[in-house]
Amino acid sequence: MPLHRIAPRLWDARRLEGGIYARLPAHYLRALREARPPGPGAADAPVRVFHPPGVPRAACGAGEGWVGGYRYVDNDKLAPRVKKIWKPQLFMRELSSEILDKTFTLTVTMRTLDLVDAAFGFDFYILKTSKEDLQSKLGIDLKRAMLLRLARKDTDLHPNDPVKRESIFNKYKAFAIPEEEAEWVGLSLEEAVEKQRVLEKKDPVPLFRVYAEELANKLVAKALTEPVTVSRKQ
């Protein structure tokens, strides 16, 4: 007789079908199921990229990290191989967002800067790039903030210049989605579950309010059932 009703290898696939996971918004669950690995598929084994803890990463990163391998001593192929780690070169650059109307000082790589140029701007790069390819918590949070501002058409953006504000919203309107979907963009499963718990949480009602409401209802019901006496003038 099997120990578990469902095989352990299926637990991760089935956990979205029950409990609080099943009550998450449908668009969030659909995005979670449709998530794809970063980059196009390749026939050969991909290079393993790792990010040591405590080491600064590119803020909007393009998936770059440390790559481990081997090299020949003095480039002599008859010499023994020794371990080597290749690290991306990091830069501090200021990148401006039209939608958020802010300038951020971020840690970036040359590839990130090339991708921003290819997208014709920092906002376009963040909005066009998927969560899997961004591979950056800050980049995903910026994307969610941009989508929320587009969905709400926030008047805090250039409050004294409505013409400029409207031109910015029109420029990026192709990326606009409903606010209830934008709030969930890029959330990890743990963050989404916590958000769902907060939405479902109901604050307890104080007992004095419950009893006061019951008493008021009883008094109203009693007043309606009692006969009304009409006094006649003599």
**Tens digits of per-residue pLDDT, 127-148?**
999 888 887 888 899 999 999 9
Mean pLDDT by 10 residues, the chain (234 residues): 64 74 85 70 70 64 79 87 88 92 90 91 93 84 94 90 93 93 91 89 79 86 69 57
Q: Cα 61 to the chain's mean position, in Å?
A: 16
Task: Say which residues have a Cβ less than 8 Å from residue 115's Cβ, sequence separation at least 6.
Answer: 62, 125, 129
Give residue 229's pLDDT: 60
Is pTM, for the whole model, over 0.85? no
Give residue 181's pLDDT: 92
Q: Is 13 exposed, middle or buried (0-12, 13-18, 19+ CB in 10 A)?
A: exposed
How far apart CA 173 and CA 165 sit, in angstroms, is 12
Name the DSSP class of 173.
G
Q: Output the six-digit token pair for 138.
A: 């800050």
Phi, psi dihedral angles at 99 (to 5 degrees):
-70, -45
**Tens digits of per-residue pLDDT, 43-63?**
667 778 877 676 666 666 666
